[in-house]
Homo-oligomer: A and B are copies of this chain.
Amino acid sequence: MTPRSSSESARDIPEATVARLPVYLRALTALADDGTRTCSSEHLAAVAGVNSAKLRKDLSYLGSYGTRGVGYDVDYLRYQIAREIGVTQDWPVVIVGIGNLGHALANYSGFRSRGFRVVALLDADPRRTDEVVAGVPVRAFDDLEQIVREQAVAIGVVATPAVAAQDVADRMVACGITSILNFAPTVLAVPEGVDVRKVDLSIELQILAYHEQRKSQAEPALPTDVRGTA
């Protein structure tokens, strides 16, 4: 058995619940923007696109049970979830690789509004280091170590081509970055204690294709598929 601290941070929230907390946070922000003060678990579940029993179970890990007949206080629940995720503080982020995707990420307003501050854009190509994207100048990749140290950066975004991604990740890890968001279409090897999340833009398209195929199969079918079944 591993000794466990009794501090709040040591509670184990299942990984699937952690992955849904940002979805709840987004739904609550939408409700708050509409002026909604309280909401039932059913309503919040519908806005977030999950099953309400699952939502109640997820929120119970945060010690949040709502009030019978009233539901959840939207603002307070937002605060609870934001605190649990850690986005009440301001996370400095560096983006490496300022091609089309890097530009898109640097311009993405969703990062800023959700507690992430892009403190540096880095590219290995010296022709890019004249540019300013979304108010942030592009700097040489060789400045990585200095920037990470000065700005206490813990999260790095890899938006390079696949062939460069492992080298970039190695340099990030070597200078103290412990969380990497990888957009390059390759698997990164990192030491224990470093978290990597990989964004694969084709996964969502494949999920759509599955449903699309079922829709076309659900239409009145010609009996072309029953040959040889007798």
Hey, which chain B residues are within 8 Å of A221, CB to CB? 7
What does DSSP make chain A's interface, helix, strand, loop or mixed?
A: helix
| Cβ A212 vs Cβ B22 within 8 A | no
Q: How many copies of this chain?
A: 2
A59, CB-defined interface residue at 8 Å: no
* Residue from the list B86, B100, B187 in contact with A209, Cβ < 8 A: B86
Q: How many residues of A contact B (CB 8 A)?
A: 68
Which 3 pairs, one residue from A and one from B, show the smallest C-beta to C-beta distance? A86-B213, A9-B217, A22-B206
Using a CB–CB cutoff of 8 Å, the interface residues on chain A facing chain B are: 5, 7-10, 18-19, 21-23, 25-26, 30, 84-87, 89, 91, 93, 99-101, 103-105, 107-111, 114-116, 154-155, 157, 178-181, 185, 187, 193, 195, 197, 199-218, 221, 225
9 A-B contacts (beta carbon < 8 Å):
A7-B225, A9-B217, A9-B218, A86-B212, A91-B209, A110-B185, A110-B201, A180-B208, A181-B205
